[in-house]
């Protein structure tokens, strides 16, 4: 059996980093973890190839080779997935589809031959058994949340890692919290299910053996969902594994209550974590109550962010406007919070209601659903009718983005962060493309760019005041260029 695994293209989004990746001559952010993991679950005797449309094209020769095309995607990849399925249909190659997009929107893809939905550990084996018997059903789904202790190491050798800036791995699935706009718990449950430390070390060893030394993103929905196991087993194992090794900084997603646990922060930094994405959402307490973001309530959110930064963790923040309790003052409140906190990478989006969430159900009951859920965090779209009114909401949203990513405000925020940040000493393997990225940034941003005055101020301030953070400062300058391109594309 010949299996072609195809990963659809991401549009130009906040998290694609397409414009930043050009500075380091990378083609995509990360290889498709889900498809590579599924590949490892297929019979070893089967031939397997992967085509990542973010890196290369899907050719007629690829389709002619394949017996089946396996496709997995997120909602934001919807249009590329549709186009890919149509090409498979035209080539008369059968399509097996799975992943969040198809689990949520199965009925929108009538040309898919077989759906293997939910988690592959639960639904792939029955499909493979029926396929062997010559009687595969069209849909395989499950309401069970499988044990992931047997999840195999992804088949990294199917991709050319040199095209990517980071690699994703996963320790846990699920989140203990209950934010009403988030579909994680409907897809993956409330109780975090975890791999063993040995599994994680095996995955890291496999990457290290392939020569990978760049960043690794733990894609857990909440890495600290099971604090006991993280502290007692996983982080000590990562600290031991890292001894004598160069590079491979870790990043992940975590809830804000990480800032309440000095020991956990210390262990994470010692293990090599330098960045956490945190869902801040809003400084409006009433809106936090509205969306059941209880872990963010009753605290000084700016100080919580600062504690994480002082511990050695960069904070990337997620923010939302458009809650029912948001008044027109929320736009300036968000701007002020983001600037004061020094969150350089601030993803601000309009409130959207994904299928399967409590917010979706409430909006449906109230007759306030409109349009299609885009899955893009910063495209200025929403699938709900906001109480504030759509035009005032969009206008306020545009004001937030135009302010926080204007060169003056953005570079000021970088400096606010760099003054606060206290990272440990980490051995970094400096690759040639990063030296070239510095020169490209000097030309693109320091000579040609509209931000050149701010760029040189950051350049020399960091070089003389915090020289150890100079590579990070240049990275942020490049990120700012990317964010401005995306914002200009979507909201003008």
The CATH number covering residue 86 comes to 3.40.50.2300
Q: What pLDDT sits at residue 424?
A: 82
Tokens of 235: 């982080």
| Contact by Cβ (8 Å): 351, 386 | yes
Does 148 reside within a domain? no
Same domain, 93 and 242: no
Same domain, 452 and 412: no
CATH number at residue 283: 3.20.20.70
Q: What pLDDT sits at residue 380?
A: 87
| Contact by Cβ (8 Å): 274, 426 | yes
Tokens of 183: 């579909």
Does 151 reside within a domain? no
Does 186 reside within a domain? yes
Same domain, 80 and 185: no
Phi and psi, residue 51, nearest 5°: -120, 110
Does 155 reside within a domain? no
Tokens of 218: 């733990």
Count of positions (residues) in the chain: 492
> End of a domain among 106, 140, 174?
140
CA dihedral 49, 99, 166, 251 (to 10 degrees): -150
Same domain, 86 and 122: yes
β-bridge partners, 169:
218
Q: What pLDDT sits at residue 383?
A: 95
User: What SS3 string covers the chain?
Assistant: CEEEEEECCCCCCCCCCHHHHHHHCCCECCCCHHHHHHHHHCCCCCEEEEEECCCCCCCHHHHHHCCEEEEECCHHHHHHHHHHHHHHHHCCCEEEEECHHHHHHHHHCCCCCEEECCCHHHHHHHHHHHHHHCCCCCEECCCCCCCCCCCCCCCHHHCCHHHECEEEECCEECCCCCCCCCCHHHHHCCCCEECCHHHHHHHHHHHHHCCCCCEEEECCCCCCCCHHHHHHHHHHHHHHHHCCCCCCCEEEECCHHHHHCHHHHHHHHHHCEEEEEEEEECCCHHHHHHCCCHHHCCCCHHHHHHHHHHCCCEEEEEEEECCCCCCCCHHHHHHHHHHHHCCCCEEEEECCCCCCCHHHHHHHHCCCECCCCCCCCCCCCCCECCCCCHHHHHHHHHHHHHHHCCHHHHHHHHHHHHHHCCCCCCCCCCCHHHHHHHHHHHHHHHHCCCCHHHHHHHHHHHHHHCHHHHHHHHHHHHHHHHHHHHHHHHCC
Q: What pLDDT sits at residue 289?
A: 97
Pairwise CA distance, residues 367 & 352, whole Å? 15
Same domain, 264 and 383: yes
Q: What pLDDT sits at residue 427?
A: 54
Same domain, 260 and 333: yes
Q: Which of 116, 137, 132, 149 is nearest to 34 (CA)?
A: 116
Tokens of 115: 């759906």
Q: Which of 106, 80, 104, 84 is nearest to 95 (CA)?
A: 84
- 137 Ramachandran zone, left/alpha/beta (phi>0; psi -120 to 50): beta
Does 154 reside within a domain? no
465 alpha-carbon distance from chain centroid: 32
Domain, as residue range, for 455: 434-490
- CB proximity list for 179: less than 8 A, separation 6 or greater: 279, 281, 291, 292, 293
Does 147 reside within a domain? no
> End of a domain among 394, 420, 446?
420
Tokens of 328: 């027109």
Does 448 reside within a domain? yes
Question: How many C-alpha atoms does 144 have within 13 Å on its Cβ side?
Answer: 9
Same domain, 412 and 477: no
How many separate domains does the chain show?
3
Same domain, 177 and 260: yes
Pairwise CA distance, residues 350 & 377, whole Å? 7
Residue with tokens 């923040």: 317
Tokens of 379: 């495209």
CA dihedral 313, 318, 323, 329 (to 10 degrees): 70
> End of a domain among 374, 393, 420?
420
β-bridge partners, 71:
6, 97
Same domain, 240 and 308: yes
Pairwise CA distance, residues 445 & 211, whole Å? 31
Question: What is the model's pTM?
Answer: 0.95
Q: Which of 324, 344, 348, 323 is nearest to 334 (CA)?
A: 348
Tokens of 42: 């297929």
Same domain, 27 and 65: yes
| Contact by Cβ (8 Å): 411, 458 | yes
Tokens of 278: 């945190």
Q: What pLDDT sits at residue 197?
A: 97
Same domain, 132 and 172: no
CA dihedral 66, 117, 196, 273 (to 10 degrees): 90
Block means of pLDDT (10 residues each) for the chain, 492 residues, are 97 93 95 98 98 98 98 96 98 97 96 98 98 97 95 97 97 92 90 95 97 95 93 97 90 97 97 97 97 95 97 97 97 98 97 94 95 83 95 96 97 97 71 86 96 98 94 96 91 66
Q: What pLDDT sits at residue 430?
A: 63
Does 146 reside within a domain? no
Same domain, 345 and 462: no
């Amino acid at each position: 059996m010949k299996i072609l695994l195809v990963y659809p293209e991401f549009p130009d989004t906040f998290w694609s980093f397409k414009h930043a990746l050009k500075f380091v001559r990378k083609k995509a952010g990360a290889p498709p973890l889900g498809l590579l993991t599924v590949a490892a679950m297929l019979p070893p005797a089967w031939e397997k190839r992967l085509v990542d449309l973010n890196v290369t094209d899907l050719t007629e020769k690829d389709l002619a080779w394949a017996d089946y095309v396996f496709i997995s995607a997120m909602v934001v990849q919807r249009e590329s997935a549709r186009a890919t399925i149509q090409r498979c249909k035209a080539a008369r190659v059968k399509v097996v589809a799975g992943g969040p997009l198809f689990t949520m929107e199965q009925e929108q893809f009538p040309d898919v031959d077989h759906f293997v939905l939910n988690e592959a550990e639960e639904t792939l084996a029955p499909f493979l058994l029926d396929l062997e018997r010559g009687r595969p059903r069209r849909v395989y789904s499950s309401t069970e949340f499988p044990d992931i202790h047997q999840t195999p190491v992804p088949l990294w050798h199917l991709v050319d890692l040199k095209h990517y800036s980071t690699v994703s791995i996963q320790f846990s699935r699920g989140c203990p919290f209950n934010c009403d706009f988030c579909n994680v718990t409907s897809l993956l449950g409330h109780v975090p299910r975890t791999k063993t430390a040995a599994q994680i070390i095996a995955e890291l060893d496999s990457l290290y053996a392939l020569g990978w030394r760049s960043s690794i993103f733990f894609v857990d929905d909440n890495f600290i969902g099971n604090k006991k196991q993280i502290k007692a087993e996983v982080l000590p194992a990562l600290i031991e594994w890292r001894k004598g090794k160069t590079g491979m900084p870790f990043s992940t997603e975590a809830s804000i209550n990480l800032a309440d646990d000095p020991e956990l922060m210390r262990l994470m930094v010692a293990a090599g974590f330098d960045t956490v994405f945190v869902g801040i959402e809003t400084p409006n307490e009433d809106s936090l109550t509205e969306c059941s973001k209880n872990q963010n309530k009753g605290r000084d959110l700016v100080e919580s962010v600062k504690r994480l930064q002082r511990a050695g963790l960069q904070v990337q923040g997620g923010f939302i406007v458009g809650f029912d309790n948001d008044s027109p003052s929320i736009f300036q409140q968000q701007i002020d919070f983001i600037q004061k906190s020094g969150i350089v990478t601030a993803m601000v989006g309009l409130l959207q209601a994904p299928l399967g969430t409590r917010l979706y159900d409430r909006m449906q009951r109230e007759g306030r659903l409109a349009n299609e859920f885009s899955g893009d965090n910063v495209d200025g779209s929403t699938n709900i009718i906001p109480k504030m009114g759509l035009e005032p909401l969009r206008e306020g949203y545009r004001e937030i983005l135009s302010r926080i990513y204007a060169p003056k405000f953005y570079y000021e925020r970088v400096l606010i962060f760099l003054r606060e940040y206290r990272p440990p000493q980490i051995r970094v393997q400096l690759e040639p493309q990063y030296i070239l990225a510095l020169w490209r940034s000097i030309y693109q941003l320091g000579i040609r760019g509209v931000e050149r005055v701010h760029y040189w101020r950051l350049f020399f301030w960091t070089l003389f005041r915090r020289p150890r953070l100079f590579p990070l400062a240049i990275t942020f300058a490049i990120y700012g260029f990317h964010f401005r391109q995306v914002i200009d594309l979507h909201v003008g």
